[in-house]
Structure 1
Amino acid sequence: MKKVLITIGTILVLLMAAMIVLPVVFKGPLLNKVKTTINDNVNAKVEFADFKLNLWRSFPNVMMELKGLTVVGLGEFENDTLVSMQSLATDISLSDLFKGEDFTIQSLRLSQAQVNLLSNSSEQVNWDIAKESTATQEDESGESMAISLQDIEVRDLSLIYKDAATATVVALLNSNLDASGRMEGTITHFDLDAEIGEFKLEYDSTQYIANTVLKVNSQLMADYNKMVFEFGESTLHLNELPLDLSGRFEMPSDSMYFDLQFKQPQSDFATLLALVPQSYQSYLEDIETTGEAGFEGNVKGWFYEETYPEINTRIYVNNATLQYAGSPEKIEQISLDGQITKPEGDFDLLTVNVSNAHIQIRENPVDARLTLTHPMSDPQFDAYFNGKIDFTQLAEIIPMDSIELQGFMDGNLSVKGRMSAIENEDYEKIASSGAFNFRNFKVKTPQITQAVEINSGAVKVDNTAITLTSFDGKTGQSDFQLKGKLSNYLPYFLMDKTLKGDFTLNSNYLNFNELANLMAEDTVATTATDSVIAFQVPANLNLAFNSKINRASFDKMDIKNIVGSIVVKDRMLELKQLNMDILQGKLAIDGSYKSNDANQPLFDFDIDLSTVQIPAFYRSFGLVQQYLPIAARSQGEISTKLKFNGQLSETLDIIPSSLDGSGLFNTQNLQIVDSPTFDQIKNFIKKEKLQNVRVDDFTAHFSLNDGNVEMKPFQTKIADQEVSIYGNLSVAQMLDLKMDFKVNREDISDDINSALGFLPGSQNITVLPITVGISGNLKEPKVSMDMSEAKKQIQDEVKKSTKEELDKSIKNVGDKLKKLFN
């Protein structure tokens, strides 16, 4: 017995040692075989971070796992990733491992995988990576990998297909699958559970299917020898809509054959509403429905290259009603018959036909129909709408969360033609007509800060234009009356082309502060609600508004009698010959405001501002507050002509370093009151002259370069003294200004006059030159006086004096000179 126990113990130790050692021993050969097999069979760059063997998890089988797998294309698709995967694992038998050949794949487990299938404009595809010589190589080597799957586990798989030639995108996102099976000869029976978290279909930049969840619960038969897969008792969920699924599909070679049927198990309207995407299901809570409805279809035929199977689907609703709990009203006579069909062949044979679409709320019916054919080559469409909608009643019937709707609309619209006629601007081949009338319409959503109201409006539609015969509306404090025409609207809505328009705009009052912030911004802090935010001018617009506005507000300014042209084009707002009354003066503007992605708009303006009051001018313009703070202590009138350009911040403040331009300004009746700067020169001008300093009218020219201001010399009189002014102001608000005074003898301060009286020859001095320098920070400048020219003039006059005059005053000269110049 002792020998038996020793023998059993020895065997167990050896088995445990083998299970530890074998992954290390065989890892090298298997790693080489995996890499060799992959590289021998594909034209692509295949990489993986690690390769692992594990005898414990699947014993007596061996688990093989690739970590960090990527497959990147070559040639036309170089650097395009076909497959990326966190983990790919399978199990093989221990006997296959020892033989080193004819591996049989029994299970497959993959996680966090993304598959990107690309087809370029030349119809080349990135998944065609198999080498043509694969079969020959396998025959010669005598080795292969067979498939006999009985267990499949997929976690977080996303598959995206992009076709550049047809502008089609199909996406199966966040997919999971579990399949476990049992073998009966060559056939495996699976219990299959699969879910596609989101199914998307996009064509020509338009999403036709989104937020759609697909689920499958099925008993699936798989014959791997014939590559035939047949559905037993199966249910397909489209969002929450259950569909009975039956049929089969085959993959005999590089083609596929489908024969699948699906049908809604219960023919009632409540069941059909489960088709609504999950994100909108909350709107269908607490509703009562009646009526018959259903969804059914089949897919049958071959899928090979550009040949697709036959498709027949139908969705229908017959005499249904919908009523929310607690609502006195209901939507009645709901009907619809929609079909999507295609014979076997090209996708261009697909037809969409929606007929008998009808709903009614009280006495207000709405009817519509749509036919679409040749979607891939040259879409042909025939659409019709006719109805009356009382939005006030509709809001009472259907919960709309934070959306407020009121008012009444009735109208009709029909459009028929081909996309090629729109592309070629051959509008005579498009049959389009319609008319809409609005009364007491009002809408308020979280996306806008003010309700938009249309008191009345009449719109006509034809092949070439949408004509506003009347449009009387308001938003917030602003009112507007529009008349005009929108052209090129079909290319704009269907092909993202430019919308053109020409309108007359009349208004009694426009509040531009409100209008600039009409679109709500989630990122704007509540403390900044009084700020004007830079607005984005929409792209693909070419609109002209010939405007007449009686009154408007912008920032802190009250503006009247605005007349001129406003053009919206290429994300730019252009003002052409825009004239207005502002700050008790006149303003004429030509210029532009251009949006950009950074929301720091560019501007380029030519401004002519005449005879405005300086205090109001200072309060209303931040640029004046920044560059002319002395205007805060000034009275009088100012006029300016300025041509400049630069950039604005997100709050419509000018970015100083961006400013370039030139201009001039002139003043009338300028008076500077209690200026600290002038208070500092009271030592040489009489105090009474400096209390309310009068400045004679003048014209000054200046230039702007990267926000730096250069003031060219100009002459005027300050406090009745002739002065020449010139200097610079840097973008950093550092000032270097010179004022060359010629001070009248009678206006010189009493102390200086007294000192001059003792000097011989001083009676010849009638004007004293003194330079005042103002430098340093603009908010707290330093004032200095340069009297070198005055000293020289006095010395020259003293030298001209006679000996008797010098002897008479010699004893006082030294003391007075010290007093004068110190």
Structure 2
Amino acid sequence: MKKFLFVIFALFTLLLLVLAAVPFFFKDEIFNKLDQELAKTVNAQVYYDRDQINLSVFSNFPNLTAGMGDFGIRGNEPFQNDTLVHLGRMQVDLDIWSVIFDDNPSLKGIHLIDGEIYVKVLEDGRANYDIMYDSAQEADTTTTPSAFQLGIDLIEVQNLDFIYDDRSLDYLMILAEMNLEGSGDFTTAVYDLDLSGEGNIVNVNYEGVEYLAAKRITIDSKVNVNLDEMRFGVENASLSLNEFGFGIDGYLAMPEDEIEIDASFLGENNDFRSVLSLVPGIYSESFADLTTSGEMDFSGVVRGVYSEQSFPGFQFNLKIADGMFQYPELPRPVQHVNMDLAVLNESGKLDETSINLSKFSLEFGNQPLIGSFRLENLVDYEMEAKLKGNLDLMEITSIFPLEDMELKGKLAIDIDAAGRYDSLTSEIPRVEAAMNLADGYIKSTAYPAPIADINVKAAASNTSGQMKDFTFDVSSFGFELEQETITGKLLLSDLEALNYDFSIHGAVDLKKMASILPLEEMVLEGRLQADIDANGSYEAIERNRFGELATEGELQVADFYFSDLDYPQGVRIHDARMEFSPQYIQLSSMDGRLGKSPIEASGQLSNYMAYLFGESGQELRADLSINSANFDVNEWMTDTEDAAPDTTSLELIALPADIDFKMRVKADRITYDNLTLEDASGSIHLKDEVLRLEGFQTRTLGGTMAFDGSYNTRDILHPSFDMSLDISSLGIQEAFQSFVTVRAFAPVAQHVTGNFSTRFSFSGLLGQDMMPVLSSLDGKGLVRLAETAIKDSPLIKGITSITNLNETATIRLKPLNISAEIVDGMLNIAPFELQLWDYPARIQGSTGFDGRISYLVSVDVPASKLGSQVNNLVAGAVGTDLSNTSIPLAFNIGGTYSRPEVRLAAADNLETYLTNALKNRLSSEKENVQEQIAAEFKAREDSLKQEISEKARVARDSVEKQAEKLVEESKEKAVEEVKSLLKGFTNRNRTPEKTPPDPE
């Protein structure tokens, strides 16, 4: 018996040792197999850290548990910048017997821990989750199809963020800290999925409307899944938002493109507290200590088909009876809260939705607020609304906690409206409304003095239901802050003619106001003094009958300052004075700073009434004079994230369509990038999305520059410009350092000293960085070089190395003119003559925007300069006297300027070239040879031009795609702003996203 027990114990020990050794023996095999399967099935970059891999048999026996850290999936084009999945840790459970004995490992469970899933759908329907190869398509034709078995029993999610960004639907959903667990037999087409978990709803946004934000969600449900019919049903499912819980019974089916829904909802926590938890201002850290009472009843139904042509019908009912809540440590409650709300749509047509808030009442302490609202439909907006109450603001602060703020005042509201809204018949609801605020008072602990004597008296009246009989009268409003007062009034009548009577008088200190009513991430200072009276009508503005308008007064600004996150440089106005009339606003003077740049301005703003109140398309016109002693453009450039420190770049600026501004500009100094402009003056005209520069003159780089041009953003994806330059005596070296076009098309300028002048006109596209798209440029002009010198040019070195000319590395050039044109991003130089080391020469050719060059250089070189071996060859052909004998050398220059390819035309070496040249000279075929060389050069140049032209087209397409990408990135930015809420939503530490390794 003892032997038998010993054998059993030994076998059990051996089994444990084998199981413990399995992970070590099979680790590489398992993950090599995993990599193979992923390559076969997944069209994306899958990355994980093998150093963070562990295997265990005992933790989940009889399954083999494999864990890995820093796991992620990043998409391929066009989602190469989007990470579909990033996990701090992922764990998979595999059937251990299938790992040991089968060729096809069986996956039984998945655990996703600490990370983010980002699902993105583009406007054209492409989705970043569509990463599996089609069954008919193999990822690698040399590999066999995957035989991996999916038999998951459990899917678990821990501490995971989920983002669904669907551009095709304009829908965004962001969930945070999701903890979910789902179990079921996933191998069958019909199964029950047990699903439970919780998390946070950060944001749900559809077509720009935020429907949910900052809500806690929990779910506990059994879902019947029928994949054959794409039907998902629930019974007694439990769902809650914050503390508002409700049950769901029904199903959702997607047999085709349509979605069938039949679901009913019923409230679970039938108390007032659960409804309060949905109110953002109330559901806070102190909610747990809130005292509440009262009952709630909630129910709803959604039934029908959702498609492009239909919408399901729905009905929701919410009732609250005798609700009450009171904040801890505050003396007064909100009590006697009663509500009866019904939202009904039986037809499935959204326009036929009705809303009936038949009962609404509450008491702030002992102050009742009573109202009701009924809307029959969204077609003619037949409605009825009532609201009445008298509130003491001081008592409200004893009900709602207000940190660092004291309120006082009596607020009375009385609104009674009934009727319909129809713009075609000029109908509006009949209304009698009044709102009065008396003895208002606001005091913040951040400032010692209050905003006091706040008084507003307003009334709206319309007894006939016609727009022409409507009146809105703010008979008085005003307040006082440290002995400075603001008073005014506003009267609007006849919504068809829109008659107005407006006045405002007094002074206000903006810094004091901002101290009492803080502005987040904004600095605002200054003193405004206003004395303005205006009356008239929109009808008169629309018909340009400005004589019927009466507007007079002035606005004075002193020591004004504004800055925020978008404009950290700040805008300061030391002093400004504006005078108002019906036709225009006269800016008598303005002295200020834009960032560090001083600015003085004066002028006139006209048609402002029509622009502010008229139909779209009305132009705001201005005629201004602007002076600056030193304007620094660089301060307003935008830092790029991937550039070197302290570098900046411009961003494309879209110009408005309804602005007509004429500005005369004068500046003693303008700093732009690395360029300084002295004594700059000219005119700017902004109209119809085009900015025109007219008659600009300035001194820069040792010379003078005059230019006219335009910047056009009518097509924001193809912004364009044109420019006419008249430059005199500009330094060539300085121009090379300062102008990207000179560096691209005239790289020889880096080795040229002296000055040049030119009259040149060119046009093209601008990139999203406001720099010219070189591949799009077209232009022509004449370049005049003064006495210049070329030193250490690789082109000159290339010529001397072939000819063995023992000449200096510096060539001095006499004044000459060069005619040039740019076509499709290629600079073409017409043939011109010059002296190279006192030898007659002729140059022609072209430079592409990509840096490639093609030039033909012809030089008549005395034979005596070509060396003894060449002299002997020449002497044998023409006699012994070489003094008057010159050899016409021709060179083809290709490659790039920095690495030129210099070759003799029509020969491999100098000796062969000279032999052929002398034979041709003796046979009088010199002209034919020159023509042949020119023809061969033209053929090569035409071929290069065609290649450059095609490359230019591709480059322009790339620029357009970049523009489209930036338009898309503006949407991305909106998503990122909402995604950034995740960073502050919790205090937990997140695993940083890891960049996938480059493929070997």
Match of 2:845 among 727, 731, 749: 727
Identity %: 21
Match of 2:261 among 87, 90, 109: 87
Q: CA deviation at 1:669?
A: 1.9
Change over 3 Å in CA distance of 1:90–1:601 after alignment to 2: closer
Match of 1:791 in 2: 915
Distance 1:88 1:241 in 2: 45
SS at match of 2:799: coil
CA deviations on 1:303-358 (whole Å, 9 max, x unpaired) are 89975543222221111210112421211111101222222423443322112210
Change over 3 Å in CA distance of 1:272–1:644 after alignment to 2: farther
Match of 2:361 among 229, 234, 243: 234
Match of 2:438 in 1: 318
Match of 1:706 in 2: 824
Distance 2:231 2:386 in 1: 43
Match of 1:431 among 531, 547, 550: 550
Match of 2:894 among 775, 780, 788: 775
Q: CA deviation at 1:524?
A: 9.2
Distance 1:344 1:236 in 2: 33
Change over 3 Å in CA distance of 1:645–1:307 after alignment to 2: closer
Distance 1:216 1:416 in 2: 44
Distance 1:488 1:533 in 2: 30
Answer whether contact 2:338 2:362 (CA < 8 A) is retained: yes
Match of 1:603 among 708, 721, 725: 721
Match of 1:638 among 756, 781, 798: 756
Change over 3 Å in CA distance of 1:638–1:154 after alignment to 2: farther
Change over 3 Å in CA distance of 1:556–1:176 after alignment to 2: farther
Match of 1:298 in 2: 416
Change over 3 Å in CA distance of 1:57–1:713 after alignment to 2: same
Distance 2:667 2:376 in 1: 71
Change over 3 Å in CA distance of 1:569–1:242 after alignment to 2: farther
Answer whether contact 1:50 1:66 (CA < 8 A) is retained: no
Answer whether contact 1:682 1:690 (CA < 8 A) is retained: no
Distance 1:494 1:269 in 2: 38
Match of 1:559 in 2: 677
Query: Within the alignment, does 1:658 sit opposite 2:776 as a pair?
Result: yes
SS at match of 1:394: helix
Answer whether contact 1:678 1:690 (CA < 8 A) is retained: no
User: Please, what is the CA RMSD of the aligned residues?
Assistant: 4.4
CA deviations on 1:1-42 (whole Å, 9 max, x unpaired) are xxxxxxxxxxxxxxxxxxxxxxxxxxxxxxxxxxxxxxxxxx
| Residue type at the aligned position of 1:535 | I
Query: Within the alignment, does 1:406 sit opposite 2:525 as a pair?
Result: yes
Change over 3 Å in CA distance of 1:358–1:241 after alignment to 2: farther
Distance 2:827 2:403 in 1: 66
Match of 2:300 among 136, 153, 156: 153
Change over 3 Å in CA distance of 1:486–1:797 after alignment to 2: closer
Q: CA deviation at 1:690?
A: 3.5
Distance 1:427 1:329 in 2: 43
Distance 1:53 1:476 in 2: 60
Q: CA deviation at 1:244?
A: 2.7
SS at match of 1:682: helix
CA deviations on 1:231-290 (whole Å, 9 max, x unpaired) are 4573499xx9997335696989x999877532235333674999xxxxxx99x7421012
SS at match of 2:575: strand
Distance 2:866 2:605 in 1: 71
Change over 3 Å in CA distance of 1:587–1:331 after alignment to 2: same
Q: CA deviation at 1:66?
A: 8.5
Alignment of 1:166-181 (within 5 A): 177-179=316-318
Match of 2:486 in 1: 366
Answer whether contact 1:685 1:747 (CA < 8 A) is retained: no
Query: Within the alignment, does 1:442 sit opposite 2:545 as a pair?
Result: no
Query: Within the alignment, does 1:337 sit opposite 2:479 as a pair?
Result: no
Match of 1:244 in 2: 369
| Residue type at the aligned position of 1:571 | E
Query: Within the alignment, does 1:692 sit opposite 2:810 as a pair?
Result: yes
Alignment of 1:27-426 (within 5 A): 87=261, 89=263, 152-153=299-300, 177-179=316-318, 217-219=338-340, 231=358, 234-235=361-362, 244-246=369-371, 261-264=386-389, 266-268=391-393, 271=396, 285-300=403-418, 308-375=428-495, 377-426=496-545
Distance 1:263 1:531 in 2: 57
Answer whether contact 1:545 1:565 (CA < 8 A) is retained: yes
SS at match of 1:662: strand
CA deviations on 1:530-572 (whole Å, 9 max, x unpaired) are 2233333333111111222211112211111112211111222
Distance 1:479 1:414 in 2: 32
Query: Within the alignment, does 1:583 sit opposite 2:701 as a pair?
Result: yes
For structure 2, list consecutive stretches of 5 or more residues without a partner in the other structure.
Answer: 1-227, 238-248, 266-296, 305-313, 324-335, 344-353, 925-1000
SS at match of 2:520: coil
Distance 2:342 2:708 in 1: 76
SS at match of 1:689: coil
SS at match of 2:735: helix
Answer whether contact 2:745 2:849 (CA < 8 A) is retained: no
- Which structure ranks higher in relative contact order (CA pairs < 8 Å, sequence separation ≥ 6)? 2
Change over 3 Å in CA distance of 1:649–1:67 after alignment to 2: same
Q: CA deviation at 1:67?
A: 6.3
Distance 2:356 2:793 in 1: 94
Q: CA deviation at 1:427?
A: 0.7
SS at match of 2:391: coil
SS at match of 1:794: helix
SS at match of 1:736: strand
Change over 3 Å in CA distance of 1:611–1:491 after alignment to 2: same
Match of 1:454 among 558, 563, 573: 573
Q: CA deviation at 1:799?
A: 8.6
Change over 3 Å in CA distance of 1:449–1:233 after alignment to 2: closer
| Residue type at the aligned position of 1:358 | G
Match of 1:7 in 2: none
Change over 3 Å in CA distance of 1:66–1:789 after alignment to 2: closer
Change over 3 Å in CA distance of 1:486–1:241 after alignment to 2: farther
SS at match of 2:547: helix
Distance 1:379 1:468 in 2: 28
CA deviations on 1:654-691 (whole Å, 9 max, x unpaired) are 11221112112121122111122211222466655231
Query: Within the alignment, does 1:489 sit opposite 2:489 as a pair?
Result: no
Alignment of 1:503-652 (within 5 A): 503-515=624-636, 517=638, 530-596=648-714, 598=716, 601-652=719-770
Q: CA deviation at 1:769?
A: 0.5
For structure 1, list consecutive stretches of 5 or more residues without a partner in the other structure.
Answer: 1-48, 72-83, 92-149, 158-174, 181-189, 194-214, 275-280, 801-822
Change over 3 Å in CA distance of 1:603–1:404 after alignment to 2: same
| Residue type at the aligned position of 1:794 | L
Answer whether contact 1:272 1:294 (CA < 8 A) is retained: no
| Residue type at the aligned position of 2:600 | Q
Q: CA deviation at 1:759?
A: 5.0
Q: CA deviation at 1:399?
A: 1.6
Change over 3 Å in CA distance of 1:86–1:577 after alignment to 2: farther
Q: TM-score, normalised by structure 2?
A: 0.55
Match of 2:276 in 1: none
Alignment of 1:749-768 (within 5 A): 749=867, 752-753=870-871, 755-757=873-875, 760-763=878-881, 765-768=884-887
